[in-house]
Amino acid sequence: MRESRVFGARSRTRLSDEIRKKYFLVFEGSKTEPLYFQAVNDARLKLGISPLIELIQIERCRGEEGWSNPRKILDTLSQNLDERDGQTLTYSTLLNAMMDCIYSDIYIQREEKDTNGIWSILVDQSKNKGLSLDSIVLDREKAIESLLEVFSETSPKIRNVILENLNDSLKNMQIPYDEEIDCICFIFDRDRKSFTEEQYDYVLENCRKTNIKPFPSNPCFEFWLLLHFDEVKTIDQNKLLLNDKISASKSAKSFSFNEFRKLMRQYTTKPVTKSSFDTVILVDRIQTAIENEKSFCEDIAALENQLGSAVGLLLAEFIKK
Q: Does residue 240 form part of some domain?
A: no
Q: Which residues form the domain of 62?
A: 2-83+177-221+282-318
Same-domain check for residues 158 and 299: no
| Pairwise CA distance, residues 283 & 280, whole Å | 5
3-state SS of 294-320? CCCECCCCHHHCCCEECHHHHHHHHEC
**Regions of the chain with pLDDT less than 50:** 5-16, 66-67
9 part of a folded domain: yes
Q: Does 77 lie in the same domain as 141?
A: no
Same domain, 313 and 195: yes
212 and 302 belong to one structural domain: yes
pLDDT for the residue 13: 43
Is the separation of the CB atoms in 218 and 190 below 8 Å?
Answer: yes
pLDDT recorded at residue 88: 78
Residue 97: the pLDDT is 86
Does a structural domain hold residue 274? no
Which pLDDT score, from 0 to 100, does residue 112 have? 61
How many of the other CB atoms lie within 10 Å of CB of 100?
21
Give the pLDDT score at 58: 82
6 and 76 co-located in one domain: yes
What was the pLDDT predicted at 269?
A: 87
List the one residue out of 264, 251, 246 whose CA is nearest residue 36.
Answer: 264
Q: DSSP letters of 206-269?
A: HHHHHTEEEEEEES-HHHHHHTTSGGGGGS-HHHHHH--BSSSSTTPPBHHHHHHHHHHTTT--
The answer to whether the beta carbons of residues 297 and 25 sit under 8 Å apart is: no
Q: What is the pLDDT of residue 6?
A: 47
**Residue 12 confidence (pLDDT):** 40
* pLDDT for position 169: 84
| Assigned domain for 247 exists | no
Per-residue pLDDT at 162? 92
> Which of 172, 198, 233 is a domain's end point?
172
Answer for the pair 195, 70: CB distance below 8 angstroms, yes or no: yes
CATH number of 211's domain: 3.40.50
**297: Cα separation from own chain's centroid:** 23
Same domain, 104 and 47: no
Same structural domain, 182 and 301: yes
Query: Is the same domain home to 93 and 185?
Result: no
Domain assignment present for 233: no
Per DSSP, 16 falls in state: S
- C-alpha pair distances (Å), 140 with each of 5, 89, 163, 263: 26, 8, 12, 53
Identify whether residues 38 and 144 lie together within a single domain: no
Position 272 in a domain: no
Query: In this structure, are 187 and 287 located in the same domain?
Result: yes
CA dist 302 → 27, 92, 200, 269 (Å): 20, 34, 11, 37
Burial label, 302 (beta-carbon count in 10 A; 0-12, 13-18, 19+): exposed
Judge whether 43 and 4 are in contact, CB under 8 Å: no
Q: Which of 172, 200, 235 is the C-terminal boundary of a domain?
A: 172
Q: Confirm whether 196 is domain-assigned.
A: yes
Residues 214 and 116 in one domain: no
- Count of domains forming the chain: 2
The DSSP 8-state label assigned to residue 19 in this structure reads P
Domain contains 271: no
Q: Which of 138, 156, 172 represents a domain boundary (last residue)? A: 172
Pair 66, 209 in one domain: yes
Cβ(8)–Cβ(54) under 8 Å? yes
